[in-house]
């Protein structure tokens, strides 16, 4: 809420049933745009219902990965744990996949990308190499389910983002802290060097 501005373009990767794209649409206003990506057939139906006819939100029933094609999505009873990673007892479903670089070439460079893909963060980042290495790379909010997943994501960001990102942990109070902040969640904010003017009141002291 502190980072987005009216007129921004946002990509929501793993939009689930629609809470975050609805929030983003409110923040970017009528002059902005939100692209919401959700591969789960069940979640996508709920997402479409949540969003309704909101003119600034476009929902796409796609998985975001490091290549385009058709993959297998594993849908569980609990929508939040469904993913492209095989899960015991899940229902395998074919799903169309694309990359964020491909989407950006179609609609423009986003200012902000939210990634919540249950362990598939690296694939998403590798499929947005052009965006991360560009003149104005997007702000990122991503989830890391384990210390090893965080370490791999940080390395990927350093390589693809050419050292231009600073990463902080999102705390329960909405501020951000260092990566080892005990008050933190499993969500992280990665800010490129151009956006410090937006982030001046985001960090804890």
Domains and CATH numbers, the chain: 9-195 (3.40.50.150)
Integer Cα distance of 66 and 69 in angstroms = 10
Sign of CA dihedral 174, 176, 179, 182: negative
Instruction: Give 5-56 pLDDT, tens digit per residue.
Output: 999 999 999 999 999 999 999 999 999 999 999 999 889 999 999 999 899 9
pLDDT of residue 205: 45
Provide the pLDDT confidence category of residue 182 given band limits of 50, 70 and 90.
Answer: confident
Give tens-digit pLDDT for 113-150.
Answer: 999 998 889 999 999 999 999 999 999 999 998 899 99
Q: What is the per-residue pLDDT across 144-168, written as a single tens digit (0 to 9) for each?
A: 988 999 999 999 999 898 889 999 9
């Amino acid at each position: 809420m502190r980072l987005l501005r009216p007129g921004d373009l946002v990509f929501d990767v793993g939009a689930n049933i629609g809470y975050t794209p609805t929030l983003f649409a409110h923040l970017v206003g009528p002059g902005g745009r939100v692209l919401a990506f959700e591969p789960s057939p069940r979640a996508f139906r709920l997402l479409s219902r949540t969003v309704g006819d909101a003119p600034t939100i476009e929902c796409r029933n796609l998985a975001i990965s490091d290549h385009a094609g058709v993959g297998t999505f594993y849908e569980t009873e609990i929508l939040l744990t469904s993913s492209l990673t095989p899960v015991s007892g899940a229902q395998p479903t074919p799903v169309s996949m694309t990359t964020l670089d491909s989407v950006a070439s179609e609609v423009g460079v986003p200012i902000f990308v939210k990634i919540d893909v249950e362990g598939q963060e690296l694939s998403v980042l590798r499929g947005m190499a052009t965006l991360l290495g560009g003149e104005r790379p997007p702000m990122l909010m991503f989830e890391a389910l384990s210390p090893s997943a965080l370490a791999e994501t940080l390395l990927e960001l350093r390589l693809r983002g050419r050292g231009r990102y600073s990463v902080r942990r999102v705390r329960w109070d909405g501020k951000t802290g260092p990566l080892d902040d005990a008050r933190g969640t499993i969500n992280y904010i990665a800010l490129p060097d151009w956006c410090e003017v937006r982030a001046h009141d985001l960090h804890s002291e």
